[in-house]
Structure formats: structure tokens, C-alpha cells
Structure 1
């Protein structure tokens, strides 16, 4: 016991800092997270990937995280004042999203989903910005290449030729800024592509987007979100396999044959006397030799503790992963409406924080800025004054996929009441659903005009929208009278709606 432990034992105070019998085996390390990741990071990532490939709960957790954090995509809505230029910019962006992936396997929003999966699995992912030539025929000469965590070796630490420090594959200048990443040219675990194995290339930091969700100050590299649950997931999988084998043996109705002892137990058996075993099939009758007896195997049942143990273990895994239990286990039976709603609200808070602090800030905004720069430079988009007013023209709202309502009618009525009370705007309500309010208003106006031209009206009787449309715009005196009539009509329709059973 060192002097600090002796002093702590003498003073007392915090049980968590004592070294008495109950905490004797609790030897926590004082190493920084960077040292821990350098020592264990590759093994944690490899085990996390193995579980996602082989464990149903692990793959369900990853897919649930990606579906809830990204969904159909986190999409930008430009804040340009000029409506025509804004619409042109949005059309150009939408056309480019289909060309964004350097591998050609998905679009920009698919890259977001892959990035969310990688950050959950490995704690980080790298996106390399790849400018293209004009002759490549892209809408905007830019593509994005996704690189997994293993492509930046953790052991790459030292001093660069220019005197900069290299820590875990990342090069820093004298004041601690990231200036470059030292990537492997080929994935170290891909034996199908042995060329240039082990060769490292230096890529400027301006051409790399590092998406990471750090958990401690000064952290350089990511750690898998599965890390706190890896041991329990693996052991629970083994336990399930053992129970499955137990049931398999019980279903076979195994029998064991007991033979009388030989006259000379020390004498070696001839080949023809060696027991060959008895193979049985359902309904089979086996003739035994004289003196042999049969005992039917009765393996122990798992009992009533199997399901409660599974449930509690999965709850611990759910808490470690930050995924609600129904999303992890696809078990919707154990929760009622109120409990499910509470869990969903908490989960959405976490997801929303991650969306804006990680996905939008680290991936979406840098990619959008580089895209707009190249769109202007290549002539695909004309924005007068872009060089001097770039920050304002880059401004955009990033709208995630809308959340589905637990109870659509109740939630919709509550939101309508908030808008009518002035607690939120229609613009905010529409943005929370993942849409642009100006675009929605244009679409609604176009639909209303088309309905009037065709003599149609699909609005609910007595709705405020119908009352507004009933007010014509001619001279002032007639407007006042007709407005009052329209208001009376709305009131009459409202009373009629209330009187209906």
C-alpha cells in the first residue's frame, strides 16, 4: 500500500477511493484513453466487427442506430435570400448527391448511413475528399471516398521529416493542429488485395474528414460503442448455444447401453469386440445383446430462470449501447405505451445531440462547403460575391429524417395547439418533419390552385384553410362583408362538426 492509499484509509470520506476488502480487486488504470486505445483498440474493433457479423443482437443494434440517426438522410436547406438561386442550388445539390460516392455504390445520404454504422462499430471513420477532373462528367467535380478506421494505423507514431509529431497516424504541427493523416494504401486485413501492402501515404488534413465521437478530452482516435457490451454479448451468445445444444440432446431421446463387466477386464479387446455405438432414429427398436441394459438420458431443463436471465442481461447490454431494449431485441411485448414513449423520448434526445454535434458538424458541413466551393469554381453554380460573402452563402439548415409519431392523432393535435398558441411556428414544425417550409408552402399553393381550376376541394370541412380560401379579394367594402360571412360560415361548419356523433 503506497502513501496515498494509507492516507486515504486514515482520512476516509469517499468509499470509492478506499482500498478495503470489498474493493481489493478493483485496480483501475490511470492511463489516458489514447494509451488504452493504442493498446486495445485493434482488438476491440475486430471483436465488434465479429459480433456484428455473427450476433443477431449486435447487428440489430448497429442497424437501429444507423436508421434512427440518419434514416433517409440529413439534408441541407440553403438560407439564400434569392429564391431563384436557392432553388437552383437545391437542384444542383440533389443531382450531385447521386454522384458523391467515389465507389459508386450509394449516394451522399447512403454515405451518411455508412458513416453512422462505422462510428458505432469502430468509434470513427475517415472520408477522403477527392476532387475530379472536368472531363469526368460530374455535375460538380467532387467525390467522397470512405476509409475504415483500420486504414490509419494506431502504431504509426514518431516524428515526421519536417519535425512534426505523428501520433497514432495523425500528424500535428508545432501548435497542435492536425496537418496530415498517414494512411495505409491497402486495408491491412484484405488478403485479396496484397499489392502495396504496408505502404503508407501522407494525405493533407484539408483533404480528410475525420468523423469521431470522443468520450474524453484530448482523445485522438475513436473507440467502438460496442466496447462496454462486447463481453456480455459474447458470453450470452455462448450461453444461448449451450442451451440450444441442451435442447437438441433432449430432443434426441438419447439412450445409454450398460454391458456386464468382462471376465478378464485387463485383456485387450479384439477389433470385432470393440463397441461400435448405437445409432437410433425416432420409433426405432434396437435389439441388444444378452446382459445389456438401457438407460434413457434425462438432461436437465433450463427451467424458469432462462427468460428472466436473458431479459436482464439484454437490459444491461441495451444500457451499455444506448439502444432501447425493444430496438435491440425486437421485443415489443414487455413495454406499455407510456414506458415505450418515455424510452423513445430519451433515445431521440441522444440521437438528436449526436446528429448535430457529430454527423452535421463533422461530416455534412465540411462536405457541403467543399462542394459549393467547387460548384462555383467549376461554373456549375453562379453566386455573385461568393468570395467576399462566403460564410453567409454557405449557411444552411440540416434537417434530419422526421420522427414517426407514437400516437399520430394525439401528437398532431398537440402540435396544432402549440402553433395556434404561438408556442412554435409552422416553419419550425415543418422543419422538424425534415422538410423546407418555403417548398411546402409553394406545393400547397400549387395544389390549391389546381383544385380550384378543377372544382375540387379536399380540405376538411370547417378547417381554417378553407375559411381563408373563402375570402375573395375585390374592393374593400365587399371584402369586409364577405369576410364576416366567411367567418360565420366557418363557425357554422365548426358547430356542425361538434354536433355530429
Structure 2
């Protein structure tokens, strides 16, 4: 068996032989020029971050597709707001906390331009454009007259200098403007005092920075690599294609415009003879002739007119645009129709399949980035500030703050292509016990307790006014809910149509419960 052992040893080579079987690691002719540097993402961000950020901002301002993609990203990520539902066990305390939070959201913005949910939308746009956004929590004085003395200030990515990488006076390393302690925890951010690109603010020189403790700063970004300390623009993979496509479209438009300006070219043997009306001289020693409607021109012997026939863009122009924008949409992680507004080739199945995958990605960002990095920390600081300022009276908060901080953040509802089918599926899942009614209601973007209070108020108002509806707000929740006692449709004493006057007309031919039974 010695010859077999030798064959086995020859067949099992070293690391080079193993690498040779990996196509991506080969060094053949076609891959010889592919030698990417093995750099950490933080080095790439530090070196190319400022230029990448500047180009991203310019594209969102000047490119229609980039602007539309930015708005679609923000509207799907936060919509009208990711809202809290407190999990405090005491109903009275829970209601008190919710009401105070709702009132404070109007005062949350330090600039006074929007509310807390408007700030969420601004954060979402900054995540798309810059890949990151900073929120500074600013304590306020009691004499400022706020319900809870705290506000939020949004800071753009440019406010934290990429080039500030040094060792602080206390020995802590500063990397891209972020100060870390010796075990790698963030302890401070060194912000510029004014935006480096704002020429209207001349109060302070640009180089000056200020140190802000990390507990007062929220750094919202999506880390794509382990150890990443700064964010990358969401549109970075599509940036070059968008820029070149915009240039190509501009050149094509100018070419068509120039070609359309020349109706034809006149050739004649006698330059002194006028042809087709008055001749107007041009700056370049040439001449142009204008035509009027209904003109019949007699040409002299030896004179000729050749009309312009500019080349068309060709039949492949639209296919090229479609494929390029499809690649841009894939790079952005957005459905094609959200980037371009083109739904000509879409149908129910394709739209739904596209939206299901897109919404999975959005839900990942909602829960892992916006809710975790922004909403939860704001809620915890707001609750602590409200207790310390006396705006809330929560028994033994200092001893056990965790039981008061428990909260569920509800993202905005999804509007499906066919809402009837989705609602019916949710009702069936709820009735089968697969999902709770709370989860079904929260999927619509509302708090279940708020819905219950509104239903109770509606039922009380209906009863007090003696109103009658086919579905009473007081009956069991669910689209297929039926009353416990079903009256005989032929013996009703209510309105002569089988109704018994109690606000429930029993089962009808279109009632799903009747069809089920």
C-alpha cells in the first residue's frame, strides 16, 4: 500500500495548492491586474470620507434620481415616526408618561423647526446622504419653560473632523474626531464649533473644536464592518454610475438641442443673391435665414437647400437607461420604481415580491439602528430628566429605573399593494392564535391601548346618542366578529329590514362569517 500512501500525500498539497483551487485567489492573466489593498474600513473612511461626503451631498441636490431615492429611503424608514408604547404595568402611570411624551415631542427640536418625529426624518436623510448623523442632547434650564428640560440638536457629519486623529492630553486616543479610553469605549466627541462649509457664520474660526462627553451624543450610523467607527454614505455604491449617467443625459440633451436649432443648410453659387428672405449676419462671419409659415421659395439655378437630419439616440437608449438605473437601484437597496417612479413594467406580483425584500431591510434598520441608537437612548434620558425635574412622579424610580424604561417602539405601518388580502390574512392569523391582537394593531403603526380607548369612547357615544351601525364599536374586535346571539333576519323589530334595533343586523349574504359557517 506504499504507492497509495504516496499518491495521497501528493494529492494533498500545502496552502498554495489549496489557494490555486479558489478562482478568486488565482493570479492568472485575466486577474493579474486585480490587486486590491488590504485596508481596514476605518483607514478608507479617514482618507476618502470628506470627498465621498461632498460628492454625495452634491448628487442629492443636483441629481433627480438621487434626490428621489433619498426621500423614498427616509419615508420608508421612519414615515410619520417610530413611536413609543410604554410597558409600565400601572395603567395610570403609563397613561401619564405617554401623555407627557406626546406633549414634549413638539418641544424636542433645539432649533424649533419640527418635532421629534420630524427629527427622525432628518436623521434618516442624513443616514442616506452621509451615512451617519449626530444628535446632541442639550439640558435646559427650568426657567426656559419646557415641559421636560431637555432638547435635541442635530449635527451633520462634517461637524466631526475626519482628520482629527491624535492623542489627547489625558492620554486617550482620538480617531476621526472620536475619543476612546484605553479599553476602547467612547468617552467624548470633538466637534467643530461651526460648519466648515458655512460661509455665512463668521463668528468663530473653523479649526476650533469643543469636547462633548459621549453620554450627551448619539451617533446614529449603520456599521457594516466590525470595528467601524464612522459611517459611509448609503449611496456610495451607486455614486459613480449616477454621476456618469447624469453627464451622459446632459450631453444627449445638448446634442438634440443643437441639432434642432438648424433646420437646413443653403448652398448657392452666387453669394450676393438673397435666398429665402432676409439674411441676418452672425458674429462668426456667417449668416442665417428665417422662414415663415406658408412660404414657397423659388430657387435660382445652381442653388440648393439641404435640410438637417440629425442622428437619433437609437433604439437602445431606453434599454441602456433601464439597465443602468436598475443597477443603481440595486446598489442603493431600493426598488426600481421608488428610485425612478417608473411602474410601466410592474404588476401586483412583481411589486409585492420587490417590496417584501425591501421592507425586510428597512425593518432591520428600524430596529437595529434607529430604535436602538436613537429612540431608546432619547427615551431613557427624557424619562430620567422628567423625574428629576418633577414633571413625572414615578415611585422608587431611582431604585429600579429599568421597570419604567421598558418601552416598545412601533414603526409606521406598511401600505400594501392589496390591503384587503393582507388584512384578511392578519385577521385569520389572529383568530387562529398565531399572532396576538396587540401585534396586529401595532403592525398598523398604532398603540393597541390607544385604539381600545378610542373604541370604548366610540361605543359609549353611540349608545348615548342611540345610533345604529352594522358593526358596533363595542362588539368583539376582528373583521369577522359576530354577535353571541344571532337574531332571525325575518323577525327583526328594528328598521323593517331584519335589524333588531341593537346596532347589529345579524349575518348577511356578504358576511364572511356566514360564508364560513
> Per the shorter chain, which TM-score range?
0.7 to 0.9
Would the alpha carbon gap of residues 15 and 438 (structure 1) be closer, same or farther in structure 2, given more than 3 Å must change? Answer: same
Number of the residue aligned with 2:180: 172
Superposition deviation, residue 215 in structure 1: 1.0
**Partner in structure 1 of residue 70 of structure 2:** 62
- State which of 116, 127, 130 in structure 1 corresponds to 2:138: 130
Distance (Å, rounded) in 1 between the aligned partners of 2:470 and 2:450: 20
The CA deviation at 1:260 is 7.4
Alignment of 1:401-480 (within 5 A): 401-460=412-471, 465=481, 467-468=483-484
Which residue of structure 1 lines up, in the alignment, with residue 229 of structure 2? 220
Partner of 1:207: 216
- Which aligned pairs between 1:286-301 and structure 2 lie closer than 5 A? 294-301=305-312
- Asked if 1:277 is matched to 2:286, the reply is yes
Change in Cα spacing, 1:105 to 1:289, as seen in structure 2 (3 Å) is farther
Kindly indicate whether the alpha-carbon contact (under 8 Å) linking 2:470 and 2:504 is maintained by their aligned counterparts in 1. no
Structure 1 position 293, deviation (Å): 5.9
Residues 1:493 and 2:507 are matched in the alignment: yes
Judging changes above 3 Å, is the alpha-carbon distance between structure 1 residues 445 and 298 closer, same or farther for their aligned structure 2 residues?
A: same
Per-residue CA deviations over 1:391-411 (Å, capped at 9, x if unaligned) read: 110010000111112112111
Q: Deviations over 1:432-474 (max 9, x none)?
A: 1111112211211221121122222323499765515989xxx
- CA-CA distance at 1:278 after TM superposition: 2.6
Aligned 8 A contact 2:193 2:209 in 1: yes
- Aligned equivalents of 1:116 and 1:469: distance in 2? 51
Give the whole-Å Cα distance in 1 for the aligned partners of 2:216 and 2:82: 22
Deviation of 1:294 (Å):
4.8
Q: Per-residue displacement from partner, 1:46-104 (whole Å, max 9, x unpaired)? A: 11110110110000000000000000000001011111111111111011100111111
Q: Pick the aligned partner of 1:373 from 357, 370, 384.
A: 384
DSSP 3-state at the match of 2:287: coil
- Residue 316 of structure 2 corresponds to residue 305 of structure 1: yes
Choose which of 234, 245, 262 in structure 2 pairs with 1:253. 262
By how many angstroms is 1:258 displaced? 5.8
For the 8 Å contact 2:282–2:288, the answer to whether it is kept is no
Counterparts of residues 320-339 of structure 1 (less than 5 Å): 320-339=331-350
Residue 37 of structure 1 corresponds to: 45
Q: Distance in 1 between matches of 2:327 and 2:125?
A: 21
CA RMSD in angstroms, aligned pairs only: 3.0
Residue range with higher mean Cα deviation, 14-23 or 107-116: 14-23
Which consecutive residues of structure 1, in runs of 5 or more, have no partner in the other structure?
A: 1-5, 263-271, 472-485
Cα distance between partner residues in 1 of 2:242 and 2:113 = 31
Asked if 1:20 is matched to 2:28, the reply is yes
TM normalised by structure 1 equals: 0.87
Gaps of 5+ in 2: 1-13, 272-280, 488-499
* Distance of 1:493 and 1:232 partners within structure 2: 59
Higher deviation after alignment, 280-289 or 347-356:
280-289
Give the match for residue 150 of structure 2.
142
Q: Higher relative contact order at CA 8 Å, sep ≥6: structure 1 or structure 2?
A: 1
State the secondary structure of the residue aligned to 1:179.
strand
1:193 and 2:207 aligned: no
Aligned 8 A contact 2:19 2:25 in 1: no
Aligned to 1:267: none
Q: How many residue pairs end up in the alignment?
A: 470
More helix by share: 1
1:339-418 equivalent positions in 2, closer than 5 A: 339-418=350-429
Q: Say if 1:8 and 1:17, in contact at 8 Å, map to a contact too.
A: no
Structure 2 distance, partners of 1:464, 1:86, is 31
Task: Please report how far the alpha carbon of residue 247 of structure 1 lies from its aligned counterpart in structure 2 after TM superposition.
Answer: 2.1
Q: Deviations over 1:369-408 (max 9, x none)?
A: 1111110000011101101110110010000111112112
Q: Using the TM superposition, give the Cα deviation of residue 201 of structure 1 relative to its aligned residue in structure 2, in angstroms.
A: 0.7
